[in-house]
Structure 1
Amino acid sequence: MPNEPVTKIRLRRFAKADMEAVLGLVAQIASGEDLTESAGQQFANELANPQFEGGRFVATVDGRVIGTMGCAAGPIPSKYVLWADWLIVDSQYRRYGVASLLYDEIEKYALANEKTWLCLDIGNIDKERAAYRFHLRNGFQIVGQLPDYWGELEHLNIMAKSLISKE
């Protein structure tokens, strides 16, 4: 755990050598199922696919991976949209602005690739209240919900953010 403010946070593209550390972050997610297997498969597929339309980034301090986030075209690709996924910050480094730095990087990536929207599935708003409020503060809004998508009372809540000012 850091005993002074974290000022040496570095962001870079996810690499194969980061897999173990990133899966360690995934393991910190409180879930009734083991998410590391599906995350590992997704991340390995991204690394292996030279045509992968998306990016995954890691935040590091002194070479140690402390956060990750990615984005991709999603299941129904659009030339205007990227879907953000797997925003995870090591529990010891939360409240240091790591998540905001990762989002800024994803937004820059999306804009550089001429995307105008960033979307995500926030999951269960009641269980993920802090994540929900974080996304609202960062310009996202709920644009849709699929009730009971993940299970009884486990709704898929779609949030979106326009990356282009409408003014």
Structure 2
Amino acid sequence: MENELDRDICIRRFIKSDMPAVLALVAQIGSSEDLTESAGEQFARELADPNHEGDRFIAALGDVVIGTMGCAPGAIPSKHVLWADWLIVDSEYRRYGVASLLYDEIEKFALEHKKAWLCLDIGNIDRERAAYRFHLRNGFQIVGQLPDYWGEFEHLNIMAKSLKSKD
């Protein structure tokens, strides 16, 4: 896929050898806690489970992993919904359409599996303003909020997008 970087961005499935690069992306997330441990455990479980109903993708420029995103049924699975998670683009490659390419792959996966909705937790809308606006531009809307879920004034904001076939 061509983009403004004038180089090919390859979107492909996440494999075990991608783990160090993907965890380096997770480490770029500004958080008071170390998210790499929980992310690493989750990603390792997904790779080890042959019946995992979701998928994880990476964006790469040559051998360099520049982004990642996954999807899965979530904590309360529904045959109609997939939950998107861990959308991360390396800080040097933001604003080049990488996140949109990853979302396109997740949506394609969801549609192939006959899902009607794609959901996610956007986190703190004030601190994650760019992510919030990105999701609004891409058809998501806030459908619920659990106040103080992650901590004081750290609300769990649930966003959802109705998926329509692109045929």
* TM-score (ref. length: structure 2): 0.95
Could you say which residue in structure 1 is the equivalent of 2:36?
36
Output the aligned Cα RMSD. 1.0
Equivalence for 1:156: 156
Structure 1 spans left out of the alignment, 5+ residues? none
- Displacement of 1:6 in angstroms is 4.0
Correspondence for 1:127: 127
For residues 9-158 of structure 1, the aligned pairs below 5 Å read 9-158=9-158
Moved over 6 A (4+): none
Give secondary structure in 2 for the equivalent of 1:20.
helix
Mapped contact 1:122–1:132 kept (Cα < 8 A): yes
Report the 3-state secondary structure (helix = DSSP H, G, I; strand = E; otherwise coil) of the residue aligned with 1:71: strand
**Distance (whole Å) between structure 1 residues aligned to residue 164 and residue 92 of structure 2:** 34
Counterpart AA for 1:24: A
Aligned equivalents of 2:74 and 2:54: distance in 1?
Answer: 9
> Could you report, residue by residue, the CA deviation over 1:22-81 in whole angstroms, capped at 9, with x for unpaired residues?
000000000000000000000000000011010000000012100000000000000000
- What residue identity is the alignment partner of 1:9? I
Question: Which residue type is aligned with residue 12 of structure 2?
Answer: R
Q: Give deviations 1:1-32, integer Å, cap 9, x for gaps.
A: xxx72431000000000000000000000000
Deviations 1:109-132 (A, max 9, x none): 000011010000000000000000
The alignment covers a number of residue pairs equal to 162
Distance of aligned partners of 1:25 and 1:6 in 2 relative to their CA distance in 1, 3 Å threshold: farther
* Ranges in structure 2 where 5+ consecutive residues have no aligned partner: none
Aligned amino acid, residue 76 of structure 1: I
The residue type paired with residue 82 of structure 2 is L
AA matched with 1:137: R
Distance (Å, rounded) in 2 between the aligned partners of 1:6 and 1:127: 31
SS of the aligned residue for 1:38 comes to helix
